[in-house]
């Protein structure tokens, strides 16, 4: 007699099965894009997907990520030394003009020396290019409370999503469901 297990060629197709009443597949709900200024609703393909996959949105998020990386690199002392050395080499490579050299004129500083460059850190919300808010007690990470709340919602959702996949998480959810059923029944 054959075992009750299905043979390999009779397996169900890849994907979510919703015909089982207690299916354990955890499909994410629709979400709102985290990028500042987008606000589109989308169906995530992964549990940790933060933004819609619209090409324009992806381009702007990557641009924001590059700006964050560049700002962080500019703060590094070794990067500053490397940049200064590269600029010195570049200035030496410039060929001298065939005319007679002019006496150097003392004028205002130009280029990167015209101002002291101390970039303000950018907000940690994807797509937000605004400087962080001033904070007296600690280092701020967001430009406003709306950005802070948006990122906090995403971080909480991901933390809860990961916890639900553990044994303790499933037990806690079962207890919550039992308590909710008892409240609905009135006792």
Which one-letter DSSP state was computed for residue 48?
T
Question: In whole angstroms, how far apart are CA 55 and each of 31, 33, 51, 66?
Answer: 17, 13, 11, 16
Task: Give the residue ranges of DSSP H helices in 53-144.
Answer: 55-75, 77-93
Average pLDDT over residues 14-18: 51
Per-residue pLDDT at 104: 62
- pLDDT at residue 2 is higher than 90: no
pLDDT band at 56 (very low <50, low <70, confident <90, very high): very high
How far out from the chain centre does Cα 176 lie? Answer: 31
Between residues 60 and 96, which one has the greater pLDDT? 60
Residue identified by tokens 């589109």 is: 40
pLDDT band at 76 (very low <50, low <70, confident <90, very high): confident
pLDDT band at 103 (very low <50, low <70, confident <90, very high): low
Per-residue pLDDT at 24: 60
The beta strand positions in the chain, using DSSP E, are 31-32, 41-42
Q: What percent of the chain has pLDDT over 90?
A: 33
- pLDDT at residue 9 is higher than 80: no
Distance of alpha carbon 80 from alpha carbon 78, whole angstroms = 5
Average pLDDT over residues 111-128: 71
Between residues 79 and 19, which one has the greater pLDDT? 79
């Amino acid at each position: 007699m054959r075992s009750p297990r299905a043979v390999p060629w009779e397996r169900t197709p890849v994907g979510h099965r919703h015909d089982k009443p207690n299916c354990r597949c955890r499909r994410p709900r629709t979400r709102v894009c985290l990028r500042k200024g987008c606000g589109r609703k989308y169906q995530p393909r992964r549990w940790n997907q933060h933004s819609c996959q619209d090409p324009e949105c992806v381009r702007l998020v990557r641009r924001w990520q590059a700006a964050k990386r560049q700002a962080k690199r500019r703060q590094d002392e070794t990067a500053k030394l490397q940049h200064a050395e590269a600029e010195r080499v570049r200035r030496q490579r410039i060929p001298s003009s065939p005319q007679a050299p002019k006496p150097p004129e003392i004028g205002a500083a130009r280029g990167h020396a015209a101002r002291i460059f101390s970039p303000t850190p950018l907000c940690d919300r994807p797509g937000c290019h605004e400087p962080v808010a001033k904070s007296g007690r600690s280092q701020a990470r967001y430009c406003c409370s709306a950005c802070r709340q948006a990122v906090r919602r995403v971080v909480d959702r991901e933390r809860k999503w990961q916890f639900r996949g553990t044994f303790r998480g499933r037990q806690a959810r079962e207890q919550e469901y039992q308590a909710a059923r008892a409240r609905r029944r009135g006792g």
